[in-house]
Structure 1
Amino acid sequence: MSKSAIRIVNGNIITPYRMIKNGELLIQHGKIEAVCEGKIDVEAATVIDAKGQYIAPGFIEMHVHGGGGADFMDGTVDAFLTVAETHARYGTTALQPTILTSTKEQIIQSLALYDQAASSSIRGSRFLGVHIEGPYFSMRQRGAQDPRYIRDPDPAEYMEILASSQSIKRWSIAPERAGAIAFGRLLSDRGILPSIAHTDALHADVMEAFDNGYTLVTHLYSAMSGVTRRNAYRHGGVIEAAFLLDGLDVEIIADGKHLPAELLQLIYKIKGADRTALITDAMRAAAMPEGPSILGNIADGMEVLVEDGVAKLPDRKAFAGSTATADRLVRTMVKEAGISLIDAVRMMTATPARILGVDASMGTLVAGNDADVVIFDDNITIEMTMVKGEIVYHSSGSALSDVSN
């Protein structure tokens, strides 16, 4: 479909704070031109009938490793494009590829491949820069991160990585590791988001990290400390610090497996929709059949088992990433946690857009923003995904016809 005028009609438009019943959306040249109740007068346009379904901003996925059988660590441009295409089918219009703990050489190679993929003709979700997850983590809280590569921040190493690419937008780190505070301050000064992750930090460590640029907690509750005892005295951990620091954003894996409904409700009650972003943390098995799979590079990554809708370590003692897609996150928040659809969508759109610094052009359906749009039904089943005015997925599998007013 061309980027000439498009009217999306007969839908319930979701804004961050209200629902516009029977609203219409006008799109021109890949941008939102108008959002209103009732009919928009335009001489000729392609008309898309939402058929009474929901019209929402495109979902923004800020922590994803793979999907459709591919992983960003696979070492090919095609892997990046496959993941982007896969997640677009489930409403994601923009995502931040995430690189796992690995060698310096693999990280640099993945960054180079990202740059090539970002300049290619992307077949689905567009890219928002790279998130490096590791290798500067707590060994005790490593989760499924490969222990062979976990280490303290090394200035010689990370300066070489930073020099290799301008596409690094976020780096997840355990702030208690030697040198992590100085590293976080350097990242923040360069406009890169330092995030707290895979960590055994105490509340005091988080306070220091927050004062030095760490403003996000990576997958809250997963691979991090809570209340702990040191020499008989109790100390708050990262979880408690995240709740106490109003200025600290959090992301949560809302796949219905990593966190039960009561914890999703608790996070929402304390942090609210404006400080909570939904993430899949999806690995290659997202949108694939269950069974054996690989976390990370297809050649030498970690063997995992996908069952019960989640990836697990072979001994089943811990999760090893999710197989969720963005629609499932919204569905879980609404159907299992009882959160309003408006707030659930906000946590998948406007909130991650603000955290990633792209809210000036995406994340909400307002005039002037990019026309990243999804249409879905009451079960959050995706009918259509549009990126900058172009339909990249439609459930019918066929092109929509132009209809003149």
Structure 2
Amino acid sequence: MDQSTYIIHNGTVLTSHRMIPNGGILVVNGLIEEVFEGAGSYPKDIHKIDAGGQYISPGFIDIHVHGGGDSDFMDGTVEDYLTIANTHASYGTTGMYPTTLSGKWEDFINALDVYEESDEQNTAGAEFLGLHVEGPYLAMSQKGAQDPRYIRNPDPEEYEFIIREYPFVKRWSIAPELPGAMEFGAFMRKHGVLPAIAHTDAVYEDVVRAHEVGYTLATHFYSAMSTVTRRNAFRYAGSIEATYLLDAMDVEIIGDGIHLPAPLLQYILKVKGTDRTALITDAMRAAGMPEGPSVLGTKGDGLEVIVEGGVAKLLDRSSFAGSVATMDRTVRTIMKKANVTLVEAVKMASLVPARIMKIDHQKGSITPKKDADIILFDQDIRVSKTIVKGKVVYDG
């Protein structure tokens, strides 16, 4: 029996705008061929996956993730990359952008050097869609859990080398008020890389200038971002207010319900809306692991942290240190705390991140001719099956 062609049936299909009860999809050679209602008209011997009344959903796309399963991308081995991909696939992630952080230059380069080999060997986990660099060009005053030993201003020699040698870098997050940030943004856009604002003490005017040269995304919105300040008695709007006022600025939010409480989640969606808001995990190595001591960054040179109450914190509890969320948790959280429908929540975890990263022609929704990145889950968003480009990579 040819299992490159099959149907998933007896479920509720989630499109980008509605539910199709008693629906299904036809998959052919890793692509979605058709979406149907009812039993459909297919040969009796076609391979079938019975959804058992569950939801048939587009897979989740995590555009900001550092680790999971006790591995971090900065550990810089193929084994660590694959562990993270496998860990998050079991929670519904079908595509991800491995994310680095501020650390030793040699650790950073090593993490990039193993990307392509990891991608080639990744046959049983979430797909690697490109790499996201976070830092080291950040505001020291908004460093959060980023290691201050490595934070510095943009260096053209550094970043031009990276983009030239590692074309799979698709996004880079920095503070837009730093000297050289405008030149950095223009360079990234010229080379097809998304520049995003992050860990910033920028005022409104800084963000407007950055937006005009190509910065269109706010990294983990609210986390490590400036708000209204006073300078010589005058008030200045910060990066948060600027992001709200710039209609074309997208935001990504850590959907663990801890980094952002319910009122802020509701406020963000009231202003930016679900079409401009992507759910992310920002997960570090402790995602999918028991709570307790952990490390942010490389095991040999990272920061010691403690995981408690569903979030990672610095040891002095002065700052969060990345989340331990998985994408299924972000969908549950946004539904419960921001009164978002299931269809809208799934869109924020699939089609919106795909659009932000300009891959929505290929991924992000259950649409004919797109990749068959499909997940099955129940009413509590508990994932039972994850399919990447037509191949089952998790079957719980």
TM-score (norm 2): 0.98
Query: What corresponds to 1:380 in structure 2?
Result: 381
- Confirm or deny that 1:299 pairs with 2:326: no
Change over 3 Å in CA distance of 1:150–1:368 after alignment to 2: same
- Paired with 1:187 and 1:4, the residues of 2 have a C-alpha distance of 39
Identity of aligned residues (%): 56
Stretch of structure 1 that moved more, 301-310 or 119-128: 119-128
- Paired with 2:3 and 2:141, the residues of 1 have a C-alpha distance of 51
- Paired with 2:269 and 2:36, the residues of 1 have a C-alpha distance of 29
Q: Aligned with 2:241: secondary structure?
A: helix
- Paired with 2:278 and 2:59, the residues of 1 have a C-alpha distance of 14
- Confirm or deny that 1:68 pairs with 2:87: no
Q: Aligned with 1:25: secondary structure?
A: strand
- Paired with 2:40 and 2:147, the residues of 1 have a C-alpha distance of 54
Query: What corresponds to 1:316 in structure 2?
Result: 317
Q: Aligned with 1:274: secondary structure?
A: helix
Name the aligned partner's letter for residue 31 of structure 1.
Answer: L
Q: Work out whether residues 266 and 337 of structure 2, in 8 Å CA contact, stay in contact via their aligned partners in 1.
A: no
Q: How far off its partner does 1:115 sit? A: 1.6
Deviation readout 1:75-131 (Å, 9 max, x if unpaired): 211100000000000000000000011233322221111122112243210001100
TM-score (norm 1): 0.96
Query: What corresponds to 1:400 in structure 2?
Result: none
Name the aligned partner's letter for residue 5 of structure 2.
Answer: A
Query: What corresponds to 1:13 in structure 2?
Result: 13
- Paired with 1:374 and 1:119, the residues of 2 have a C-alpha distance of 22
- Paired with 2:339 and 2:58, the residues of 1 have a C-alpha distance of 21
Q: How far off its partner does 1:36 sit? A: 1.8
Q: How far off its partner does 1:161 sit? A: 2.0
- Confirm or deny that 1:165 pairs with 2:166: yes
Query: What corresponds to 1:402 in structure 2?
Result: none
TM alignment of 1:1-150, pairs within 5 A: 3-43=3-43, 44-150=45-151
- Paired with 1:75 and 1:370, the residues of 2 have a C-alpha distance of 28
Change over 3 Å in CA distance of 1:2–1:200 after alignment to 2: farther
Q: Which runs of 5+ in 1 are unaligned?
A: 396-405
- Paired with 1:158 and 1:102, the residues of 2 have a C-alpha distance of 15
Name the aligned partner's letter for residue 189 of structure 1.
Answer: K
Q: How far off its partner does 1:45 sit? A: 1.6
Name the aligned partner's letter for residue 235 of structure 2.
Answer: R
- Paired with 2:339 and 2:2, the residues of 1 have a C-alpha distance of 39
Q: Work out whether residues 143 and 198 of structure 1, in 8 Å CA contact, stay in contact via their aligned partners in 2.
A: yes
- Paired with 2:263 and 2:299, the residues of 1 have a C-alpha distance of 36
Count residues in correspondence: 395
Name the aligned partner's letter for residue 42 of structure 1.
Answer: Y
Q: How far off its partner does 1:336 sit? A: 2.3
Query: What corresponds to 1:333 in structure 2?
Result: 334
Q: Work out whether residues 187 and 194 of structure 1, in 8 Å CA contact, stay in contact via their aligned partners in 2.
A: yes
Q: Which runs of 5+ in 2 are unaligned?
A: none
Q: How far off its partner does 1:358 sit? A: 0.9
- Confirm or deny that 1:277 pairs with 2:281: no
Q: Aligned with 1:26: secondary structure?
A: strand
Name the aligned partner's letter for residue 7 of structure 2.
Answer: R
- Paired with 2:119 and 2:4, the residues of 1 have a C-alpha distance of 25
Q: How far off its partner does 1:3 sit? A: 4.4
Q: Aligned with 1:292: secondary structure?
A: strand
Aligned structure 1 segments of 4 or more residues deviating by more than 3 angstroms:
none
Q: Work out whether residues 3 and 390 of structure 1, in 8 Å CA contact, stay in contact via their aligned partners in 2.
A: no
Name the aligned partner's letter for residue 251 of structure 1.
Answer: E
- Paired with 1:316 and 1:56, the residues of 2 have a C-alpha distance of 37
Q: Work out whether residues 3 and 30 of structure 1, in 8 Å CA contact, stay in contact via their aligned partners in 2.
A: no
Q: How far off its partner does 1:2 sit? A: 6.5
Name the aligned partner's letter for residue 49 of structure 2.
Answer: I
Q: Work out whether residues 309 and 323 of structure 1, in 8 Å CA contact, stay in contact via their aligned partners in 2.
A: yes
- Confirm or deny that 1:354 pairs with 2:355: yes
Q: Work out whether residues 7 and 24 of structure 2, in 8 Å CA contact, stay in contact via their aligned partners in 1.
A: yes
- Paired with 1:208 and 1:391, the residues of 2 have a C-alpha distance of 45
TM alignment of 1:207-286, pairs within 5 A: 207-286=208-287
- Paired with 1:295 and 1:4, the residues of 2 have a C-alpha distance of 40
- Paired with 2:191 and 2:122, the residues of 1 have a C-alpha distance of 29
- Paired with 1:128 and 1:75, the residues of 2 have a C-alpha distance of 17
Deviation readout 1:172-191 (Å, 9 max, x if unpaired): 01000000111111001110
State the superposition RMSD in angstroms: 1.1
Q: Aligned with 1:368: secondary structure?
A: coil
Q: How far off its partner does 1:243 sit? A: 0.8
- Paired with 2:90 and 2:226, the residues of 1 have a C-alpha distance of 35
Q: Work out whether residues 16 and 350 of structure 1, in 8 Å CA contact, stay in contact via their aligned partners in 2.
A: yes
- Paired with 1:73 and 1:206, the residues of 2 have a C-alpha distance of 29
